Structure 1
């Protein structure tokens, strides 16, 4: 492998991610990816056996980044002692960063992948499920602690945790459809205020 092999692979993945998010997987050709990455077909096939192999690598890379963002929010709020305050600060972490997120990308790779039945049957959805489960697990822990502290019944915590996750995906769709990126910040704010209202009602 050439000395810049790792860099070249990352450049291909970065370029492909942007193209797939903007255009969809089926509408993104390997020639477009190769041109955007400034590489060659030989270099591409040195790293990826096929377009499906690229899709799997894209998804796994995106999942790792997604879980890293989740962990970043957990670390950023880890010194907050009160469980309710920490949950609200956790939500604000994403709300405050929503505008920057939307400047970086107009949609989510998960949406692009899951609209392609061939990718689902190819197994790429399994990687996305790993991210979903990571978010659910960590948010349920935060919700459990906050509910106990506030002596409030929040109902099905798994479903509520999933609601936080799908708020991101729904906000991406809403922003993409309307051309208004502020929907991400607005929708995250709605969830944060609802949680805050319930947990601090007493």
Structure 2
């Protein structure tokens, strides 16, 4: 029996995953199936036939839209990144108060994400770890995704008048990524709170 894509929709309806969005056309149907399988079972381990079975489409349809599996992976990462950033920065836009509050709110949002039953970690972290340095397209996609966060963090650090804006952004990003990996491996959302406490100490030191 073909899996129902809606089954994997985040229960709170937050819409952080492209795979949870009802497909609008054949291309989206293929990408939705591939996204779920890549993110939950691995990029290399997921074969084209498995994607076709889940999507319920013919091989000719897939290759009409994507010339190769590598092209499909790149499209999935782009779609997942865009969807997740829309959700994440949308949540951040609701946070009131000074920059310090907004930075710390990052970890509250992460905890909500980690607690979702559909949480599978960050597809970019997973892809880079899986392909190591052997796939430039994957690494470039991951770098672009991370740049959005770093740019936002730098803006908050500038507002805080941090002594080293770049280093402040990088330090928070390290806690951000570390919390994601730890929560994924341990299946424990509270790693977000641990990272938040560490971020508070770091930001307090920056205020000197």
**Is the 2:111–2:190 Cα contact (8 Å) retained in structure 1?**
no
Q: Partner of 1:129 in structure 2? A: 143
Distance 2:189 2:99 in 1: 28
Q: Partner of 1:151 in structure 2? A: none
Distance 2:27 2:198 in 1: 38
User: Which of residues 20, 30, 36 is equivalent to 2:48?
Assistant: 30
**Is the 1:52–1:119 Cα contact (8 Å) retained in structure 2?**
no
Q: Deviations over 1:93-133 (max 9, x none)?
A: 52452344x42222221123212147623x23222212211
User: Which of residues 180, 193, 196 is equivalent to 1:189?
Assistant: 196
**Is the 2:114–2:184 Cα contact (8 Å) retained in structure 1?**
no
Shift of 1:29: 0.5
DSSP-derived class of the 2:121 partner: coil
Task: Say what the alpha-carbon RMSD is for the aligned residues.
Answer: 2.8
Write out aligned runs for 1:43-122 (5 A).
43-77=61-95, 80-88=96-104, 90-91=105-106, 93-95=108-110, 97-100=112-115, 102-114=116-128, 115-117=130-132, 120-121=135-136
1:20 matches 2:38: yes
**Is the 1:140–1:161 Cα contact (8 Å) retained in structure 2?**
yes
Distance 1:33 1:184 in 2: 33
Distance 1:139 1:94 in 2: 15
Which is higher, the Rg of structure 1 or of structure 2?
1
Normalised by the length of structure 2, the TM-score is 0.73
Structure 1 gap ranges (5+): 149-153
Where is the helix percentage greater, Structure 1 or Structure 2? 1
Structure with larger RCO (C-alpha < 8 A, sep 6+):
1
Question: Mean Cα displacement is larger for which, 7-16 or 112-121?
Answer: 112-121
Q: 1:177 to 1:103 in 2, by over 3 A?
A: same
Instruction: Name the count of aligned residue pairs.
Output: 185
1:39 matches 2:57: yes
Q: Structure 1 stretches (4+) deviating beyond 6 angstroms? A: none
